[in-house]
Amino acid sequence: MANFSLVPEPTFKAKVAIPIPGKKPQNIEFTFKWRDGDALKEFVDALGNFDTDTDAAMEFATGWDLADAFSRENVEKLIKNYPGAAKALVTTYLGENAGARLGN
């Protein structure tokens, strides 16, 4: 019998390649909230309505594997210090939540 559930886990982990100027991207493992198809579409439709990239990230990320605590302040620091981080986070989250790794 297949090891498959019709109801996914409420969170999942994925590595996000954070761009670092002058160096190779650094992979950081994040924990993300899972959304079903309807909730994911609703989230995508709302992406332009967040006041900041940090606000958006806090809506789908719940943790990371850094020594620094996962907090709004530290997510804001990550996004401020590494401007490509916001795009990398959103792109990875949407791809992973939608199952982009299938077949890889």
pLDDT tens digits, one per residue of 25-76 = 999 999 999 999 999 999 999 999 999 999 999 999 999 999 999 999 999 9
Select the more confidently predicted residue: 102 or 16.
16
Q: Is there a domain that residue 1 lies in?
A: no
Assess whether pLDDT exceeds 90 at residue 2: no
N residues, the chain? 104
Total domains present in the chain = 1
Q: Is there a domain that residue 34 lies in?
A: yes
Q: Is there a domain that residue 90 lies in?
A: yes
Q: Is there a domain that residue 6 lies in?
A: no
DSSP character for 21? T
Round to whole Å and give the CA distance between 13 and 66. Answer: 13
Assess whether pLDDT exceeds 60 at residue 100: no
Q: Is there a domain that residue 4 lies in?
A: no
Report the mean per-residue pLDDT for the chain: 93
Q: Is there a domain that residue 102 lies in?
A: no
Q: Is there a domain that residue 65 lies in?
A: yes
pTM above 0.75, yes or no: yes
pLDDT score recorded for residue 78: 98
What residues make up the domain containing 66? 11-97
Select the more confidently predicted residue: 104 or 33.
33
Q: Is there a domain that residue 48 lies in?
A: yes
